[in-house]
Homo-oligomer: A and B are copies of this chain.
Amino acid sequence: MRLPVLRTIPSHRSRPHDAEAREKCGVFGVWAHQSPARLAYSALVALQHRGQESAGIVATDGRVLERRAEMGLVSNAVPPPDLDTLDTHANSRPSIPGGAIGHNRYSTTGASASNNAQPFLGHFKGGQVAIGHNGNLVNARELRDELERAGHGFHTSSDTEAILQLLAHYSSDDGSQDPLASALARLRGAFSLVFLFSDRLEAARDPWGWRPLVVGRLPDGSPVVTSETVALDVIGAEFVREVEPGEIVTLSDDGVSSRRFADASAPLAHCIFEHVYFASPATRLFGQTVQMVRERFGERLAQEAPVENADLVIPMPDSGRSAATGFARASATPYREAIIPNRYVGRTFIKPTKEERATAVRLKLNIISELVEGQTCVVVDDSVVRGTTTRAKMDQLRAAGAREIHLRISCPPIRHPCFFGIDFAERTQLVAHERSVEEIRSLLGVDSLAYLSLDGMLDCVAMPSLGRENYCAACFSGTYPIEVPNGLSKESLTSC
């Protein structure tokens, strides 16, 4: 095997249009099922919280891939007639049904966004392939530069096309014995990937285990892979096991098999933010149910930062409820829903007047004055993003008559960029950026403010089988499990 052209040389050319897409998505795959597309549809609806920008499904009948993908929620992107087309296709071989993969993509911006809907379709020496990707590569730019120097062209700016070209490259007449493993071994960063070839499905997870990826089994025995267990529950599949970090799991007419593309020596780096915010409360993640973990965050927070003589604990709907019930229970304080969200608030006025800005805030939430008037209130939320919105909510509470407001946040302050798939892009003006907790408290206008400590958080997720060192908490701590290229770091948004 000789592939001299693929040598890494640092690049200094500017590539202003190659936006680094930070993708936080959901993936699914199934093999040997009569209605793989309809099954994928249900799974993608269950995973919709992981991405709402676009969705797509690709099905194979064992010979040819058929794709449907569009902008919007999966219900818009792959409507029932398309599902029927895909499922009819998947059953066009006599007696042997085929398979399908599906993908939800997170909301990003940009005019060419529609071209980026996944799964990504390609053709190479090995035939057709469709790729669904959850995660973010830190060496995508290096790989693209290297491939271009070797004579490859690119049609999109996605990481996924780099993966396709790598796969194609290692499949050349002079290529590798296991092109997929060779290609995956070149990737650095977070990735949970599903590949649909005409005759098989391959699922792979990065050696650090950043993003979740699990194997399940339907009652009829058909194997499935997906991002979160909540999708297994919804389609009636049982949880079998996680795809191991560094592992490739293959689903085909020959059943399920496994191989490794990286040894198991890499230290684990499970993303703790999945527990904090990203995963469904009903998902069993890295061995624990998310809702239970979030309640524990609330209990721990009640111990770390109790409020004397509190009259009631108020959850910030809907994000604060899990931690708030934990906090209320641990502190033996009444839990009251004093803040009512308006489910119909969408886009706000384009250029609101000053008066309308106040109205816009009030539209999102209404306060039950009778519950807060003259009371010492504990408000629990899962995070604080910008000062402005939270400040406005606190002002509303105060205006409704609250005597004291004690804000409790069930994670530490977010102060560092994530390069592994969580987009804090919109958090450029994070309230915690270069501010102490006291400064934040003053800015929010509350009587006291406390965040859950990093130590406390890690205590809540540590288990005998999975120590606290096995989580990536870089967004809180700034300590990154792997080296991040300088260029990437410099482009980033916040550091402190």
Is the Cβ of A340 less than 8 Å from the Cβ of B282? Answer: yes
Flag whether A152 is at the interface (Cβ < 8 A). Answer: yes
The complex places the Cα of A167 from the Cα of B153 at a distance, in Å, of 8
Is the Cβ of B49 less than 8 Å from the Cβ of A344? Answer: yes
- Residues 136 to 172 of chain A near chain B (Cβ within 8 Å): 144, 148-157, 161, 164-165, 167-172
Q: Which of B121, B325, B335 contacts A155, CB < 8 Å?
A: B121
Is the Cβ of B168 less than 8 Å from the Cβ of A292? Answer: no
Chain B neighbourhood of A83, CB < 8 A: 349
Is the Cβ of B289 less than 8 Å from the Cβ of A340? Answer: no
Residue of B nearest to A352 (CB): B38
Chain B neighbourhood of A174, CB < 8 A: 5, 151
Chain B neighbourhood of A345, CB < 8 A: 45
Flag whether A259 is at the interface (Cβ < 8 A). Answer: no
Chain B neighbourhood of A150, CB < 8 A: 151, 172-173
Is the Cβ of B172 less than 8 Å from the Cβ of A149? Answer: yes
Is the Cβ of A155 less than 8 Å from the Cβ of B152? Answer: no
Flag whether A383 is at the interface (Cβ < 8 A). Answer: no
Chain B neighbourhood of A122, CB < 8 A: 153-155
Chain B min CB distance to A212 (Å)? 16
Chain B neighbourhood of A95, CB < 8 A: none
Chain B neighbourhood of A52, CB < 8 A: 344
Copy tally for this chain in the complex stands at 4
Flag whether A350 is at the interface (Cβ < 8 A). Answer: yes
Residue of B nearest to A344 (CB): B48
Number of interface residues of A (CB under 8 A): 98
Residue of B nearest to A49 (CB): B344
Is the Cβ of A152 less than 8 Å from the Cβ of B124? Answer: yes
Chain B neighbourhood of A262, CB < 8 A: none
Known: A173-B5, A236-B355, A337-B325. A282 touches B367 (CB 8 A): yes
A75, A124, A355 — most chain B CB neighbours (10 Å) = A355
Is the Cβ of B289 less than 8 Å from the Cβ of A120? Answer: no
Q: Binary interface profile of A, 316-340, with partner B (CB < 8 Å = 1, else 0)?
A: 0000011001000100001111001
Is the Cβ of B282 less than 8 Å from the Cβ of A123? Answer: no
Is the Cβ of A363 less than 8 Å from the Cβ of B172? Answer: no
Which A residues are closer than 8 A to B by beta carbons? 5, 13, 15-18, 35, 38, 42, 45-46, 48-49, 52, 64-65, 67-68, 73, 75, 80, 83, 111-112, 115, 120-125, 127-128, 144, 148-157, 161, 164-165, 167-175, 230, 233-236, 280-282, 289, 291-292, 321-322, 325, 329, 334-337, 340, 342-347, 349-350, 353, 355-356, 358-360, 362-363, 366-371
